[in-house]
Amino acid sequence: MINTVTEINNSEGSQDPQASITFADFGLDPLVLKAVSEQGYNTPTPIQAQAIPYVLAGRDLMGAAQTGTGKTAAFVLPIIQKLLPSASSSASPARHPIRALVLTPTRELAVQVSENAANYSRHTDLRSTVVFGGVDMQPQVSLLRGGIEILIATPGRLLDHIGSKTANLSQVEILVLDEADRMLDMGFLPDLQRIINLIPAKRQTLLFSATFSSEIKKLAQSYLINPVTVEVARQNAAADTVSQVVHFVSSGDKQSAIVKILDSRARLGLTRQCIIFTNSRLGCARLARALERDGIKAGAIHGDKSQGERTLTLDAFKSGAIEVLVATDVAARGLDIPAMPCVINHELPYSAEDFIHRIGRTGRAGSTGDAIALVDDSEKRLLDDIEKLMKRKLPVMPLPEVKPGQTSDPFFYMPYQSNSPSKLDSGPSGQDGVKKAGIISAKPTVGALLGGSKKK
């Protein structure tokens, strides 16, 4: 295999590719365009604008894209387009071999990708389904036996199906490794190798990853041929629609800090809706219970919860029945919650790359968001690692303070100034001068640190 990366398309500093390109410009079939417009998508996101033409042209591709950038459609739409000529209305399973395989690290991401695939292909004869572990295999077996062109799978369960001969990869034409960095982190490399060895060498391979570590580059060298690289944000950087802030808080005060933060956001007319990340399952469950005791509607999503429980909690979060989702990294992977306004790190993750994934839950697909990190003394080394990876210092601010009896005064806690700039600019002065002065003076600093332009 030839193992070179031939092109770097970095949108930084160049024209916004969204400005001029429409979905119709890709030459997508009207059946696909209809589905796209039914999703309410008007213009392609940068990763879509850059990746779709290459995928349609048959190139192997490395996509440096975080969750929330629209990367799923960036590969699913061209896959549908490429498979359309072989779509069949026949009921015979033989006419519906697996032609595209998408591998994801977690069931949540697999479900998310599969929902997108079903939506985008709804007007075509192409079939898609998802298989993941932790649930009964039998319904998946029935679906696979019926014939499926686009299969989304987690590696372990796919190998189970291959072992029991319910999945055959001999006709796969396109392979996608989604969130490849996470698959490696989770130890899926041996499974990936076994699976890829079963797929014809003459195929198109797409690899998406939020970060490009040396391991990812090695993986790409082994399995991609002459790939093009597309990149929508700086490597190892957060989306510039995310405004970040650090509060130094002792570990014993973190829970009350969260309550303060949520109260101050509510006072500003912002929603309390947020995801709070914790490092351990136990800590996750405990924090959710403690917040409930503080009167905050909270739910926990972590690896000890069954798939059914996770789905129920996620649905409750999406419907607004709970305001705060407390989550561990693995459980949160792949959750698609559009326009998530805020992510709070109750503690910093041990891996700096996980920090980027976590804050990628907000500021998605062009919307803006706040990422708040609560950092105690023991975590300063982790903060250093994160700042090194992101090549920037994160702004440190004091926690919001609510004065006794203060009810109507807009609270000056506004890491992301574009949410409500007028309040920040014209708020009353004097009463809590130090706090206000601190936040107001931080405003240009935050903007300067984030760089780039933000959509208002």
Q: Which is nearer to ligand AMP, 26 or 277 (CB)?
A: 26
Q: Which is nearer to ligand AMP, 252 or 338 (CB)?
A: 338
Q: Which is nearer to ligand AMP, 70 or 369 (CB)?
A: 70
Taking the complex as a whole, the smallest distance from the CB of residue 173 to ligand AMP amounts, in Å, to: 22
In this chain, which of 60, 231, 336, 353 binds ligand AMP, going by CB under 6 A? 336
Site track for ligand AMP across 45-64, x = CB under 6 A: x--x----------------
Taking the complex as a whole, the smallest distance from the CB of residue 250 to ligand AMP amounts, in Å, to: 35
Q: How far apart are CA 77 and CA 314, in angstroms?
A: 26
Part in contact with ligand AMP (CB under 6 A); list of ranges 66-74, 155-163, 220-228, 422-430: 66-74
Taking the complex as a whole, the smallest distance from the CB of residue 260 to ligand AMP amounts, in Å, to: 30
Does the protein bind ligand AMP through residue 71 (CB under 6 A)? yes
Taking the complex as a whole, the smallest distance from the CB of residue 233 to ligand AMP amounts, in Å, to: 12
Taking the complex as a whole, the smallest distance from the CB of residue 44 to ligand AMP amounts, in Å, to: 5
Part in contact with ligand AMP (CB under 6 A); list of ranges 37-45, 53-61, 272-280, 315-323: 37-45
Q: Which is nearer to ligand AMP, 36 or 394 (CB)?
A: 36
Q: Which is nearer to ligand AMP, 128 or 255 (CB)?
A: 128
In this chain, which of 17, 70, 155, 369 binds ligand AMP, going by CB under 6 A? 70
Site for ligand AMP in 283-302 (CB under 6 A): none
Q: How far apart are CA 141 and CA 139, in angstroms?
A: 5
Site track for ligand AMP across 362-391, x = CB under 6 A: --xx--------------------------
Q: How far apart are CA 425 and CA 433, in angstroms?
A: 14
In this chain, which of 11, 50, 72, 204 binds ligand AMP, going by CB under 6 A? 72
Does the protein bind ligand AMP through residue 41 (CB under 6 A)? yes
Part in contact with ligand AMP (CB under 6 A); list of ranges 4-12, 70-78, 214-222, 420-428: 70-78
Taking the complex as a whole, the smallest distance from the CB of residue 335 to ligand AMP amounts, in Å, to: 9
Taking the complex as a whole, the smallest distance from the CB of residue 273 to ligand AMP amounts, in Å, to: 15
Tokens of 278: 């914790």
Does the protein bind ligand AMP through residue 105 (CB under 6 A)? no
Taking the complex as a whole, the smallest distance from the CB of residue 75 to ligand AMP amounts, in Å, to: 9
Q: Which is nearer to ligand AMP, 336 or 432 (CB)?
A: 336
Instruction: List CB contacts of 381: < 8 A, sequence separation 6 or more.
Output: none
To which residue do tokens 């591998």 refer? 103
Tokens of 343: 């992510």
Residue whose C-alpha is closest to residue 71's, from 176, 185, 182: 176
3-state helix/strand/coil string of the chain: CCCCCCCEEECCCCCCHHHCCCHHHHCCCHHHHHHHHHCCCCCCCHHHHHHHHHHHCCCCEEEECCCCCCHHHHHHHHHHHHHHHHCCCCCCHHHCCCCEEEECCCHHHHHHHHHHHHHHCCCCCCCEEEECCCCCCHHHHHHHHHCCCEEEECHHHHHHHHHCCCCCCCCCCEEEECCHHHHHHCCCHHHHHHHHHCCCCCCEEEEEECCCCHHHHHHHHHHCCCCEEEECCCCCCCCCCEEEEEEECCHHHHHHHHHHHHHHHHHCCCCCCEEEECCCHHHHHHHHHHHHHCCCCEEEECCCCCHHHHHHHHHHHHHCCCCEEEECHHHHCCCCCCCCCEEEECCCCCCHHHHHHHHCCCCHHHCCEEEEEEECHHHHHHHHHHHHHHCCCCCECCCCCCCCCCCCCCCCCCCCHHHCHHHHHHCCCCCCHHHHHHHHHHHHHHHHHHCCCCCC
Site for ligand AMP in 250-279 (CB under 6 A): none
Part in contact with ligand AMP (CB under 6 A); list of ranges 41-49, 173-181, 194-202, 380-388: 41-49
Q: Which residues pair with 151 in a beta bridge?
A: 101, 129
To which residue do tokens 């996101």 refer? 45
Q: Which is nearer to ligand AMP, 68 or 227 (CB)?
A: 68
Does the protein bind ligand AMP through residue 68 (CB under 6 A)? yes
Part in contact with ligand AMP (CB under 6 A); list of ranges 43-51, 53-61, 150-158, 317-325: 43-51
Taking the complex as a whole, the smallest distance from the CB of residue 360 to ligand AMP amounts, in Å, to: 9
List residues binding ligand AMP (CB under 6 A): 41, 44-45, 48, 67-73, 336, 338, 364-365
